[in-house]
Amino acid sequence: MRSYLFNLSILLSRQFITLISIDRWLVTSSSAWLRRQSSPKTTQWLIIGSVIFWSLYAMHALIGYGSNPSGCYPSPGTIYSLFSSIDAIMTAVLSSVIMIIFSILTLHNLRLNSIRRIQPSTMQHTLVTVPERQRRSKRNTQFLRLSLLQVLVFIILNSGWTVFAIFSAVSKPAALGHFRPQE
């Protein structure tokens, strides 16, 4: 049960961080339809759907993990140990790639939005809108820093689990012996 909850928490955290990156892209879009997709109701349905999907997906941990004296991990020599390693690598890499893509798209949207702003033509409006433009630019810069920092921290913190999964798969040749072709 502990392995199930551990796997579920990792999967849900990756899902929610990825959804946040997608939401940032939606919010910064120039399309009104895309911006409307970022709503509390949509978020509520995505959270419920994510919890249900990943709860069902993580059930493999209830079956595949064995209780060993040194800890709870997939039993060596089973196909599940290979699946578990590949699963850990793929979910981490896929989440990271999605976050990077949507962070780049968010940056692109912010740049396009700053270019598309209609510049005021009269001096009276210029005096009023220059501080507003500077505030918006500062807010966009902070938004970008937050996005990039989040992606960077996510990749750093998740790479440990991914490296561990790769190391476990490679360092247990007996466990992978069944999967190698016979010579």
pLDDT of 51: 94
Q: Which of 88, 109, 96 is nearest to 26 (CA)?
A: 109
At residue 67, φ and ψ (nearest 5 deg) are -90, 115
Domain that holds residue 40: 2-179
Q: For tokens 């009269």, name the residue.
A: 122
Any idea which residue has 């929610």 for tokens?
Answer: 16
CA dist., res. 103 & res. 60, Å (int): 32
Supply the pLDDT for residue 22: 92
Q: How far apart are CA 165 and CA 147, in angstroms?
A: 27
Across the range 42-59, mean pLDDT stands at 92
pLDDT digits (tens, 9 = 90+) for 97-107: 998 899 889 88
Dist CA 93 CA 161 (whole Å): 11
Domain count along the chain? 1
Q: What is the pLDDT of residue 129?
A: 55
